[in-house]
């Protein structure tokens, strides 16, 4: 029987701001892809920060990652493997409410990721995998001939923002472009208005 999951409110950004003191230049100098992570759950505040700063949309600050014409056709699907207080499952990040809404997908995230990532080893230890999922219909309405290119560009910028926020929070991260796109589309499209999985990244506790 399917477990009914509730929407998870993420911790208020006010809890972690102001910043840790890691400058953008330091974050860029120190960033290196991590292909293995320490065991243990990621704190919920860390996940909330990652999502809010890169993908959150507020009246006051807009969004950290730019979007052509403020159309925001790229959303985040969050596969939670090990996060404090969050049942492992697939969620959609709701950027205005700053919540994780369960997608009602039955698959177990870690097992599923192990099957679809080209670099399977990452799935064994990552705490969270984020897919940048594009709304192809909205992109065509807004961008016409530029739809495909703009979706991919925005997805790339969104994931890069997350890598920088990960560095700022001193957690491990790796951009993951090589995954079974057909399998990802089959799993995610029905619950994301036929969203296209464009790009992704793995996050976890750093190995010391």
Ligand X SMILES: Cc1cc2nc3c(=O)[nH]c(=O)nc-3n(C[C@H](O)[C@H](O)[C@H](O)COP(=O)(O)O)c2cc1C
Is the Cβ–Cβ distance between 173 and 163 less than 8 Å? yes
As measured in angstroms, the least distance from the Cβ of 178 to ligand X is 3
Of the two residues 74 and 100, which places its CB atom closer to ligand X in the complex?
Answer: 74
Q: Answer yes or no whether residue 120 interacts with ligand X by CB under 6 A.
A: no
Rounded CA separation 35/49 (Å) = 22
Stretch that binds ligand X, among 63-71, 91-99, 107-115, 171-179 (CB under 6 A): 171-179
Span from 21-29, 42-50, 82-90, 168-176 in contact with ligand X (CB under 6 A): 168-176
Residues 104, 4 contacting (CB under 8 angstroms)? no
Distance CA 156, CA 135 (A): 15
CB 173 within 8 A of CB 203: yes
Applying CB under 6 A, does 118 fall inside the site for ligand X? yes
Distance of CA 173 to the CA centre of its chain: 11
Stretch that binds ligand X, among 32-40, 48-56, 79-87, 106-114 (CB under 6 A): 32-40
Minimum separation from the CB atom of position 34 to ligand X (A) = 8
**Residue 176 in the binding site for ligand X (CB under 6 A):** yes
Which has the closest alpha carbon to 197: 84, 126, 105?
105
Does 29 participate in binding ligand X (rule CB under 6 A)?
no
Bridge-based pairing of strands 172-175 and 196-204 is antiparallel
Among 11, 35, 99, 108, binds ligand X (CB under 6 A): 35
Q: Of 129 and 142, which has the nearer Cβ to ligand X?
A: 129
When the beta carbons of 57 and 184 are compared against ligand X, the nearer one is 184
Neighbours of 75 (CB within 10 A): 19
Rounded to a whole number of angstroms, the minimum distance from the CB of residue 33 to ligand X is: 3
- Alpha-carbon Rg of the chain, whole angstroms? 16
Locus of tokens 């995998």 = 129
Q: Applying CB under 6 A, what is the total number of residues that bind ligand X? A: 10
Binding site for ligand X (CB under 6 A): 32-33, 35, 118-119, 174-178
């Amino acid at each position: 029987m399917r477990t009914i999951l509730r929407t998870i409110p993420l911790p208020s950004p006010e809890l972690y701001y102001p910043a840790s003191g890691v400058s953008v230049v330091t974050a860029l100098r120190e960033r290196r892809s991590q292909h293995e992570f320490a065991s243990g759950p990621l704190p919920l505040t860390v996940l909330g920060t990652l999502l809010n700063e890169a993908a959150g949309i507020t009246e006051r600050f807009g969004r950290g990652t730019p979007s052509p014409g403020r159309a925001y056709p790229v959303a985040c699907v969050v596969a939670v493997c090990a996060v404090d207080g969050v049942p492992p499952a697939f969620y959609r990040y709701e950027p205005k409410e700053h919540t994780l809404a369960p997608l009602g997908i039955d698959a177990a995230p870690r097992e599923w990721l192990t099957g679809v990532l080209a670099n399977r080893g990452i799935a064994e230890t990552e705490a969270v995998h984020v897919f940048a999922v594009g709304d192809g219909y909205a992109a065509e309405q807004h961008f016409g001939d530029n739809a495909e290119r703009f979706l991919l560009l925005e997805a790339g910028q969104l994931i890069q923002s997350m890598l920088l926020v990960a560095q700022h929070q001193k957690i491990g991260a790796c951009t993951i472009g090589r995954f079974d796109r057909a399998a990802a589309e089959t799993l995610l499209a029905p619950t994301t208005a036929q969203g296209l999985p464009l790009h992704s990244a793995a996050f976890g506790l750093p190995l010391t």
